[in-house]
Amino acid sequence: MSYEPVLLKHVGCPDSQTLDYYCRHGGYRGLRNALEMSPSEVVEMVKASGLRGRGGAGFPTGLKWSFLPKDHPGPIYMCVNADESEPGTFNNRILMENDPHQVLEGIIISCYATRATTAYIYIRYEYGRCYRVLEKAISECYAAGYLGKNILGKSGFDLDVYLHRGAGAYICGEETGLIESLEGKRAWPRIKPPFPAVEGAFRKPTVVNNIETLACVTHILARGVDWFKSLGVPPDPKNPRDLGSYGPKLYCVSGHVERPGCYELPLGITAKQLIEEYAGGVWKARRAKAVIPGGLSMGFLSASELDTPLDFNGPVKAGCLGLGTAAVIVIDDETSMIDVLYNSCRFFAHESCGQCTPCREGTAWSVKILERIRRGKGTRDDLDILLEIANGIGIIPGTTICGLADGAAWPIKTALTKFREEFEDAVRKGVKSKLGQQSFSVATRSEIL
Amino acid sequence: MQQTSKNAIASPRAMGAEHVAETLQGLERFLAQLAPRYPSKQALVLPALHFVQERLRCVPIAAVEAIALHLGLHPAQVHDTMSFYGFFRTEKDPLGKHRLWVCRSLVCMLRGADAVLQTLCDHLGIAPGETTADGTITLETAECLGACEGAPCILVNDEHRLAVTCEQVATIVEELTRTAG
C-alpha cells in the first residue's frame, strides 16, 4: 500500500520541534482556516469528518464537543490527555517529541471550536523529553501570538495552555480520573453522568481529548473533510450503528517483530499486513502465536485471526474489546501465554485505583491465581475462577465505575478461550511456565505487586 | 558491587534543616507564581509535591504541612493525594541522586526486561525500591514507560533509554555514578 504519512511527516527531521520549521512547512494553516469560520462551523466540520477519538474509546470527537452546554457563561476547559500509559502505546510520545506544534495547533483549533479559554495538557511524568519540548513550543506560541489574548488578531479569542505533570498512574488516562488528578486529588474516576462536557474540571464544562485526536483536527482544518474521509473505512451499510473508521492512524507495533515502531496508515489495514509489510515480520523467523490489536487491555487475536482489519469494528468482531489505541503487540510461538497473562494481570492489579471492590479484589485474585499456575501449582478450578472473575468485573457487567476492569478482564477471557489447551495442559501437567522456571530471584518474586 | 543497606539515607546533605527551610521558602514563591493558572488552590498539590521531591528527594512531613498551609487544605488531604501515587517518597525512604526505572510491562518482558532488571539488581546489590548506600541510585520497577519500540527500556530520572542490554548495565551505572557529584 502506498501512503504518504501526514501526522508523522516531519518526525526525525532536524529542527522539526521549532515554530520556524513548522511554519515553513505550512504549519498553522489549519488554525487560520478555522479563524475564518465561526466556532460552531468548526465543530460541524469535525463532525462531518467522522473523526473518532484516538485514545481508546473511539467516540466521535465532534459529537463530544457538541455536548457542551450552549451559551455557557464559562469558563470552559480543555484537558489534553497526554497520560499515554496503555502497554504497547507510544504514538503520542512520538508526536509530542518530534512535532509539538502540530499538537498545539490542534489544541488551539479545538479550544476555538469549543470556546475553551484554558487548556491543561496532562502529561505523564515519565515523558520528560516531551514535557521540555512542549514547554519550549508553548513559549514560542505566546511570543508569536498563537497563544494569549486576541490570537492572530482575532478579537476576543483568548487562550492559555498549561502543562500539568502526572505522577505515574495508569488510571489518570481515564478522563474523569485525569480531571480528579488535575484538581489535586487521588485519581478516582467519577460516576457518570454528569459527563465532563456538562461538569468536568473545577465543576465547569470540560472537553477531554487525546493528543493524536487533536493532531488529526489540525489536518482536517488544513486539508479538509474530503481528504480525511478519503482515508479509512466507510460505515458498514448493513450496520446502521456503524460510524465508520475514517482518517489516518498511528499504529504502534512492538514485541516480537523485526522492526518495532510507529507506522502511520489509513485505518483498516489488517494485523497481518502491518506485521509483515511494515514491521518486518515476526522476529527470528518465528511465527506469531498471539497478537494484541490495540494495547494490552483489548485482549488477544489468535494466529488464525490476523486478517482482522484494524479499524473500529474489526477487533470487536474477533472477540477483542475494541481497537483501543491501535498498539499492536506481537507474541511469538515460543512464548508461554501463561507468562503473558500473568504479566497482564499483574499490570492491572498494580494499576487498579482501588475505588471499586470488584476491580480492586478481582484483579488481585487473578494475579495470585496466575502466579500459582506459572509455578506449576494451578488446578482446573483455577481456570474457572479466572473466567468467573473476568466475567464479573467492569462496566460491561455493571460492577465498576470505569473501564479499567474491562481492560483487565479481556486479556483473561480471550486468553482462556483462544488458548484454552495451553492453560489446561499447564494445570494438568503441573509444569512451570517458561519465565516461571527462570531463577530471576528479584525480578520474578511474587510480592512485587 | 557497591556497599548497600536497605534504608540508606540517600543524601544526608540534601536533607539538612537549612536545605529544607530553603526549599519551603522556594515553594511559597513557586506556588504564588503558579496560582493564577488554576481556579482552585488544591490543583497545585501535584506541582507542589513535585517541586519538593525534586529538591529534597522525598516529601518530608514538614513539607506536607507547608503545602497544606499554603493551599488552605488539611495536611491529610495533601497526604491522601501524595500516597495515592506511588511516585512520592517519605523522609524515611528518600530517593538517591538518580532514579532508575526498569519497565516490566508486557512488551519489555517479551524482549528481556527480567534479565536487565536482574543484572541491575546484581550489579548494584539492591532490590527494586532500594537505594545504593552511597545514595547514588534508586532502582525501581515501572509499568509501561511508553517506549515499546525500544523494549526493553529504562527511564533515567525522566529520560528514556531504549533497547537496553545486560551488557550496557555497567556503563549506565558508571555514567550515573560519575554525574551524581
A346 and A277 share one domain: no
A46 and A175 share one domain: yes
Rounded to whole angstroms, the Cα distance separating A81 from A120 reads 9
Q: Does some domain include residue B21? A: yes
Chain B contacts in chain A segment 353-412 (CB below 8 A): 353
Q: Does some domain include residue A446? A: no
Collect all residues with Cβ–Cβ distance below 8 Å to A26 and sequence separation of at least 6.
A222
> Given pLDDT bands bounded at 50, 70 and 90, which one contains residue B180?
confident
A401 and A260 share one domain: no
Q: Does some domain include residue B48? A: yes
Amino acid at A262: C
> Given pLDDT bands bounded at 50, 70 and 90, which one contains residue A448?
very low
Each residue of A250-272: pLDDT tens digit? 999 999 999 999 999 999 999 99
Q: What pLDDT, on a 0 to 100 scale, did the predictor assign at position B60?
A: 96
> Given pLDDT bands bounded at 50, 70 and 90, which one contains residue B8?
very low
A55 and A116 share one domain: yes
**8 A C-beta contact, residue A386 and residue A396:** no
A265 and A217 share one domain: no
Does residue B15 register a pLDDT over 90? no
Dihedral, CA of residue A82, residue A408, residue B155 and residue B162, to nearest 10: -90
Provide the number of structural domains found in chain A: 3
Contact with chain A for residue B45, Cβ under 8 A? yes
B108 and B167 share one domain: yes
A34 and A151 share one domain: yes
Provide the number of structural domains found in chain B: 2
Residue pointed to by grid coordinates 500500500: A1
Q: What pLDDT, on a 0 to 100 scale, did the predictor assign at position A443?
A: 45
A305 and A381 share one domain: no
Does residue A449 register a pLDDT over 80? no
Does residue A427 register a pLDDT over 50? yes
**8 A C-beta contact, residue B144 and residue B103:** yes
Give the residue numbers spanning the domain of A284: 245-332
Q: What pLDDT, on a 0 to 100 scale, did the predictor assign at position A55?
A: 95
Contact with chain B for residue A74, Cβ under 8 A? no
Select from B84, B109, B129 the last residue of a domain: B84
Each residue of A363-405: pLDDT tens digit? 999 999 999 999 999 999 999 999 999 999 999 999 999 999 9
Q: Does some domain include residue B160? A: yes
Rounded to whole angstroms, the Cα distance separating A321 from A313 reads 10
**8 A C-beta contact, residue B1 and residue B123:** yes
A144 and A130 share one domain: yes
Which whole-number Å values give the CA distances from A338 to A343, A407, A442, in the listed order?
Answer: 9, 17, 19
B57 and B128 share one domain: no
Q: Does some domain include residue A238? A: no
Domain of A365, CATH number, reads 1.20.1440.230
Could you report how far apart the first and last alpha carbons of chain A are, in Å? 44
Q: What pLDDT, on a 0 to 100 scale, did the predictor assign at position A75?
A: 97
Q: What pLDDT, on a 0 to 100 scale, did the predictor assign at position B181?
A: 64
Q: Does some domain include residue B8? A: no
> Mean of the per-residue pLDDT values for chain B?
92
Each residue of B88-101: pLDDT tens digit? 999 999 999 999 99
Q: Does some domain include residue B142? A: yes
Q: What pLDDT, on a 0 to 100 scale, did the predictor assign at position B16?
A: 82
Residues of chain B neighbouring A344 (CB-CB closer than 8 A): 106
Residues of chain B neighbouring A253 (CB-CB closer than 8 A): 149
Bridge-based pairing state of the strands A245-246 and A206-210: unpaired
Each residue of A282-294: pLDDT tens digit? 999 999 999 999 9
B80 and B107 share one domain: no
> Given pLDDT bands bounded at 50, 70 and 90, which one contains residue A1?
low
Contact with chain B for residue A340, Cβ under 8 A? yes
Select from A202, A230, A258 the last residue of a domain: A230
Residues of chain B neighbouring A124 (CB-CB closer than 8 A): 146
A133 and A281 share one domain: no
> Mean of the per-residue pLDDT values for chain A?
95
Each residue of B109-155: pLDDT tens digit? 999 999 999 999 999 999 999 999 999 999 999 999 999 999 999 99
Q: Does some domain include residue A105? A: yes
Give the residue numbers spanning the domain of B33: 17-84
A184 and A321 share one domain: no
Domain of A306, CATH number, reads 3.10.20.600
Among A68-72, A444-448, B84-88, the minimum mean pLDDT is found in A444-448
> Given pLDDT bands bounded at 50, 70 and 90, which one contains residue A54?
very high
Q: What pLDDT, on a 0 to 100 scale, did the predictor assign at position A445?
A: 45
Across A173-298, the runs of DSSP E, i.e. the strands, are: 206-210, 232-233, 245-246, 248-255, 261-266, 288-292
Select from A304, A332, A360 the last residue of a domain: A332
Contact with chain B for residue A84, Cβ under 8 A? yes
Q: What pLDDT, on a 0 to 100 scale, did the predictor assign at position A312?
A: 96
CB within 8 Å: B121 and A170: no
A219 and A116 share one domain: yes
Q: Does some domain include residue B113? A: yes
Does residue A222 register a pLDDT over 80? yes
B79 and B21 share one domain: yes
CB within 8 Å: B110 and A182: no
**8 A C-beta contact, residue A221 and residue A108:** no
Q: What pLDDT, on a 0 to 100 scale, did the predictor assign at position A2?
A: 83
Select from B25, B55, B84 the last residue of a domain: B84
Each residue of A87-137: pLDDT tens digit? 999 999 999 999 999 999 999 999 999 999 999 999 999 999 999 999 999
Rounded to whole angstroms, the Cα distance separating A89 from A94 reads 10
Residue environment code for B56-86, b if the CB has 16+ CB neighbours within 10 A, otherwise e: bbbbbebbbebbbebbebeeebbbebbebbe
Q: Which of B98, B95, B90, B87 is nearest to B154 (CA)?
A: B98
Closest CB to A252: pick one of B113, B114, B148. B148
Largest CA distance in chain A: 74
Which whole-number Å values give the CA distances from A23 to A8, A18, A20, B103, in the listed order?
Answer: 16, 9, 5, 37
Contact with chain A for residue B49, Cβ under 8 A? yes
Q: Does some domain include residue B76? A: yes
A303 and A360 share one domain: no
Does residue B10 register a pLDDT over 80? no
> Given pLDDT bands bounded at 50, 70 and 90, which one contains residue B6?
very low
Q: What pLDDT, on a 0 to 100 scale, did the predictor assign at position A437?
A: 75
Q: Does some domain include residue B125? A: yes
> Given pLDDT bands bounded at 50, 70 and 90, which one contains residue B7?
very low
Contact with chain B for residue A164, Cβ under 8 A? yes
Q: Does some domain include residue A383? A: yes
Domain of A185, CATH number, reads 3.40.50.11540
Domain of B150, CATH number, reads 3.40.30.10
Select from B52, B84, B116 the last residue of a domain: B84
Q: What pLDDT, on a 0 to 100 scale, did the predictor assign at position B14?
A: 53
Q: What pLDDT, on a 0 to 100 scale, did the predictor assign at position B12?
A: 44
B21 and B43 share one domain: yes
Does residue B4 register a pLDDT over 90? no
Residue A241 distance to chain B (closest CA, Å): 33
Q: Does some domain include residue A235? A: no
Select from A174, A203, A230 the last residue of a domain: A230
Q: What pLDDT, on a 0 to 100 scale, did the predictor assign at position A442?
A: 52
B103 and B137 share one domain: yes
